[in-house]
Amino acid sequence: MNHLTTACCAILDQLTATVSQLSDDAYTFPSQTLSGSSVGQHLRHTLEFFVCLEDGFAAGQINYDRRAHDKEIESDRATALRVLDRIKTFVSRQTDDRALVLEVAYGQQSDEAVAIHTNYFRELTYNIEHSVHHMAIMKIGIREVAPQLFIPADFGVAASTLRYRGEVTVEAH
């Protein structure tokens, strides 16, 4: 496995372990801290980017704006866990980079897309960074809705931050 795949699978494992510990109520509870959104909604959003990558991989074209907004992922932990497992299987099987086209539309008045040349490893990197960002948000929500839940210290923390923290500790001695 390459470094990106390993990093991605570690993140997916952290998400799986955390979601497995949540109760159904905590998973779907509208967090005041998260402006009324739930941990499940943030997980669904995160996973759907991976689903777009998976779906677009075969076709060679990705469009994150065309996410399904699948309410079942955000409301049913078992469904979310199955999607996590499927994504991990997909990511684990991709050993080679591949040219892709990313469609993006940033206009507020039009959904006309621009095609950008990219590749699988670049998009996997984007999905890793996007996941870490949403995991940090999920951690805040989990602390509100399930304060008793154990969350690893590195959950939702970028690898570069973890390395930096390690360097600071070493330098301080």
pTM: 0.90
Between the CA of residue 141 and those of 47, 49, 126, 132, what are the distances in Å? 17, 20, 23, 14
Q: What is the pLDDT of residues 67-98, one digit of tens each?
A: 999 999 999 999 999 999 999 999 999 989 99
**What confidence tier does 112 reach under pLDDT thresholds 50, 70, 90?**
confident
Q: What is the pLDDT of residues 32-49, one digit of tens each?
A: 999 999 999 999 999 999
Q: How far apart are CA 121 and CA 96, in angstroms?
A: 8
Bigger pLDDT: 74 vs 112: 74
**What confidence tier does 158 reach under pLDDT thresholds 50, 70, 90?**
confident
**What confidence tier does 123 reach under pLDDT thresholds 50, 70, 90?**
very high
68, 70, 62, 45: which is closest to 105 by C-alpha?
62
Could you tell me if 51 and 67 are in contact, meaning their C-beta atoms sit under 8 angstroms apart?
yes
**What confidence tier does 172 reach under pLDDT thresholds 50, 70, 90?**
very low
The full set of domain ranges for the chain reads 3-172
The CATH topology of domain 3-172 is Four Helix Bundle (Hemerythrin (Met), subunit A) (1.20.120)
**What confidence tier does 167 reach under pLDDT thresholds 50, 70, 90?**
low
